[in-house]
Amino acid sequence: MMYFFYDYIFYRLAQWFFKKDGKSGIRAIALISSSQSFMVGLIVLSNVDLFLTVEERNLHSQKVGYVGAVVFLLLYFVNYNRFSDKYDRLQSHWEKEPKRKKIIKAFWVLISLLLPVLLFAIVFTK
């Protein structure tokens, strides 16, 4: 089910950036990977906060940034392998979606991409 969720997000984003990226969906993959990285960060860092003080966390913040970059690159690699050459298949699945449904789902795509970033900013800007 989760793959299906990200399939739709990839398809809509790739469709949005189609003139610049073509079927590769490079920007779509980057946005999905970024959102997923923030989700991983929320889960991991929330648990780390149970064991570290704010001062200790601030002391290691640069290292956490590097780890976050590695997580992003790993997720990008996984998502690239997952979505490369899938645009046509996904298009044939969703191309006849009614306009009203498409607009509603576009709202949820936007929320699903922004929510992890916003939550991360709220939780970790103390």
- The predicted model scores a pTM of 0.86
Residue 1 to residue 7: CA distance in whole angstroms: 10
Query: How many residues can be counted in the chain?
Result: 126
Residue 113 to residue 107: CA distance in whole angstroms: 10
Angle at 10 between CA 9 and CA 12, to 5 degrees: 65
What's the mean pLDDT when you consider all of the chain? 89
Distance set, CA 71 to CA 14, 66, 77 (Å): 22, 9, 10
pLDDT confidence band for 126 (50 / 70 / 90): low
pLDDT in tens, 65-122: 899 999 999 999 999 999 988 999 999 998 899 999 999 999 999 999 999 999 999 9
Range of the domain at 28: 2-123
Cα dihedral 63, 29, 19, 115 in deg (nearest 10): -80
Close Cβ partners of 42 (under 8 Å, ≥ 6 residues apart): 116, 119, 120, 123
Average pLDDT estimate for 19-29: 90
Note the pLDDT of residue 125.
Answer: 76
Angle at 81 between CA 84 and CA 27, to 5 degrees: 55
- The number of domains in the chain is 1
